[in-house]
Structure 1
Amino acid sequence: MAGGGPVSLLDVSDVRKYFPIKSGIFFRREVGRVHAVDGVSLSVEAGETLGVVGESGCGKSTLARCMTGLYEVTSGTITFDGDMRRDVQMVFQDPYGSLNPRRRIGSIIADPLVIHREGTPASRRQRVRDLMALVGLNPEHYNRFPAEFSGGQRQRVGIARALALNPRLVVCDEPVSALDVSIQAQVVNLLKDLQTELGLTYVFIAHDLSVVRYVSDRVAVMYLGKIVEIAPGEELYERPRHPYTAALLSAASVADPDRQRDRVVLRGDVPSPISPPSGCRFHPRCPKAQDRCTVEEPLLLGDGHKWACHFPLEPGERLQTRTEEQ
């Protein structure tokens, strides 16, 4: 990019992914749609880690699969600066379900090399052993089955498979959520070390805000299929502008006991993505909502720090629940 500015590796523009709901036994017809991702636009810069956070069901994993081409988008565009099949890889959430239990891990890690016809059988075996050593596995265990490994080791197998073709972008879909707490830090630190050593770019999907803060350069917050706030990591954590972000942060664990936050308890449940609310989707639960929020959808605006809210929090403002206000 001219002027030495950041280079956009991946651009997501107004992407929507809807899943049809069908009814009937013999003549199935569409009776509705799940708005899993609904108008998301963002970019990922080369060499950075973009964290994506939100409650379960907000659409972050669906967005990850759209980014990698595993899901075809309903509308919108995803532009990648390179060969998406080779240069974009994914680390899946479940290290148990993402590995075929009937195959040896050597052949699992070698799959991308075989599919893309890379090298000879001998060079592939050596590449797999090198990858196993890179992620902290014993190369001598090449012929073992997944059941012979712990959860953390299986996730290392998944990471090795993702790195087989020397990708430029790795999408990590909640890569530590299925692991014991004692193992999570090991895998997260491995991913950070690999990024430094190999020059990787990450999209890191998670619901654990403390993990996202540790690994991410920028953080995007999703709610009901939309990005509601995106900012550099420390700025978002220290000065959230969207009420939903502030509520999420209030529930996150804090290592320093002197910095414990007052917990903000949101009223009600997340609305159904089949029939999302009009206007701002967060307004039924938002303590700051006003009439305008029910009819006018806020745009994601700003420069380095963007938020989609008609009545954002001011720096230092504490979000109050409706019970506290009464």
Structure 2
Amino acid sequence: MTPLLNVSDVRKYFPIRKGVFLRREVGRVHAVDGVSLQVRAGETLGIVGESGCGKSTLARCVTGLYPVTSGSIEFDGAPIGGKGFRRDVQMIFQDPYGSLNPRRRVGSIIADPLVIHRIGNAAERRRRVQELMELVGLNPEHFNRFPAEFSGGQRQRIGIARALASRPRLVVCDEPVSALDVSIQAQVINLLKDLQAELGLTYVFIAHDLSVVRYVSDRVAVMYLGRIVEIAPGEDLYKTPRHPYTNALLSAASVADPDLSARRERIVLTGDVPSPITPPSGCRFHPRCPKAQARCVREDPLLLPGGDHSAACHFPVVPGERLGAEHAGIPQESTEPGLGRTEPDRGGE
């Protein structure tokens, strides 16, 4: 069965330029560096990782907002950007305040995809806008109001309605609840799940909150410094993580049960995240990894295809294994001026 979305060895580099008149390229930020993944129709693929790991850049590559440096992205068996692609793939942005034009009425904002793709006449568009507002839990009579007259949660619902206007098949959710209060987050997440069931949507869901990703996702991909280091069905990844980085992320996630939270051992990673301008040789996680060995410096582990649960690690975590913070990993010499050697963080967490 052909996947709905196929990302193959995608790389996105941002040039660093110097000079005033003759600006020359002096380096590159490796924002996304060799990502391959597939998304099946009707599922939700969650993507998690630290800030700056490349999640949002990957999302913008998938939606065609950023051209890729190399690699390929196919939607429904064809390269992205073809006829109908813009209607079939939409995005929900992180900031419900910045993603809506404050000088335009919400009815015209939601109707933009209908106007751009020449769907219906004025009366049909107005009717469709009101149907969408009702679908996402807004009063359809408020289509003539400005965004400032709505709360943060309501503004995100407006963004969701706009994304659904063209009846897309794939929706990329770029941290859609991170700017909302906890109680509002739950409402928006449940709305997204209900819409997926009702409309048959496929989601790529990006978030920092691991509990949110676990709740909404069928499969979860973990990113670190521009690469996917582990991908697995949601419950498998949370119960038996194989990559040390995934293990550390899960140890820091919030747990509702206070007794379980008190018994759980926190894994504190030493050092800082390496620079994406000069990423480490071999495994990119080895300067902070509690299991790092000499092989990790020399050889870049591959995320091998096949099987439901894959991890790019030479020495994957064994179920029940304890990883302590006393392991400092193998520090990495950096060639970027001013960075020097990665030293362990002495300031605690």
TM-score normalised by L of structure 2: 0.90
Q: Aligned residue for 1:46?
A: 41
In 2, Cα distance between the equivalents of 1:239 and 1:317?
A: 10
Contact 2:290 2:328 in 1 (8 A): no
| Residue 291 in structure 1 maps to residue 290 in structure 2 | no
Match for 2:51: what amino acid? S
In 2, Cα distance between the equivalents of 1:319 and 1:197?
A: 43
| Residue 57 in structure 1 maps to residue 70 in structure 2 | no
Contact 2:289 2:328 in 1 (8 A): no
TM-score normalised by L of structure 1: 0.96
Q: Aligned residue for 2:324?
A: 320
Q: Aligned residue for 1:244?
A: 245
Equivalent residue runs for 1:7-46 within 5 Å = 7-46=2-41
| Residue 164 in structure 1 maps to residue 165 in structure 2 | yes
Aligned-pair CA distance for 1:324 = 9.5
Match for 1:276: what amino acid? P
Aligned-pair CA distance for 1:257 = 2.6
In 1, Cα distance between the equivalents of 2:284 and 2:321?
A: 22
Aligned-pair CA distance for 1:84 = 1.8
Structure 1 unmatched ranges of 5 or more = 2-6
| Residue 279 in structure 1 maps to residue 274 in structure 2 | no
Equivalent residue runs for 1:1-326 within 5 Å = 1=1, 7-81=2-76, 83-260=84-261, 261-301=264-304, 303-322=307-326
In 1, Cα distance between the equivalents of 2:120 and 2:92?
A: 23
Q: What fraction of aligned residue pairs are identical, expressed as a percent?
A: 81
Contact 2:288 2:328 in 1 (8 A): no
Match for 2:86: what amino acid? R
Match for 1:287: what amino acid? P
Q: State the SS of the aligned residue for 1:71.
A: coil
Q: Aligned residue for 2:81?
A: none
Match for 1:26: what amino acid? F
Q: Aligned residue for 2:335?
A: none
Deviations 1:204-254 (CA, angstroms, capped at 9, x unpaired): 001110000000000000000000000000000000000000000000001
Match for 2:296: what amino acid? C
Aligned-pair CA distance for 1:323 = 5.2
Size of the aligned set, in residue pairs, is 320
Deviations 1:278-299 (CA, angstroms, capped at 9, x unpaired): 0000000000000000111000
Deviations 1:100-137 (CA, angstroms, capped at 9, x unpaired): 00000000000000000000000000000000000000
In 1, Cα distance between the equivalents of 2:205 and 2:170?
A: 11
Structure 1 residues 144, 307: closer, same or farther in 2, change over 3 A? same
In 2, Cα distance between the equivalents of 1:84 and 1:99?
A: 22
In 2, Cα distance between the equivalents of 1:318 and 1:172?
A: 34
In 2, Cα distance between the equivalents of 1:295 and 1:323?
A: 19
Match for 2:318: what amino acid? E
In 2, Cα distance between the equivalents of 1:201 and 1:147?
A: 30
Match for 1:229: what amino acid? E
Q: State the SS of the aligned residue for 1:322.
A: coil
Q: State the SS of the aligned residue for 2:323.
A: coil
In 1, Cα distance between the equivalents of 2:257 and 2:47?
A: 24
Structure 2 unmatched ranges of 5 or more = 79-83, 330-349
In 2, Cα distance between the equivalents of 1:240 and 1:318?
A: 12
Q: State the SS of the aligned residue for 2:255.
A: coil
Q: Aligned residue for 2:347?
A: none
Q: Aligned residue for 2:340?
A: none
In 1, Cα distance between the equivalents of 2:308 and 2:93?
A: 29
In 2, Cα distance between the equivalents of 1:51 and 1:249?
A: 14
Aligned-pair CA distance for 1:18 = 0.3
Q: Aligned residue for 1:4?
A: none
Match for 2:198: what amino acid? E
Deviations 1:34-69 (CA, angstroms, capped at 9, x unpaired): 000000000000000000000000000000000000
Question: Which structure 1 residue ranges, 4+ long, deviate > 3 Å from structure 2?
Answer: none
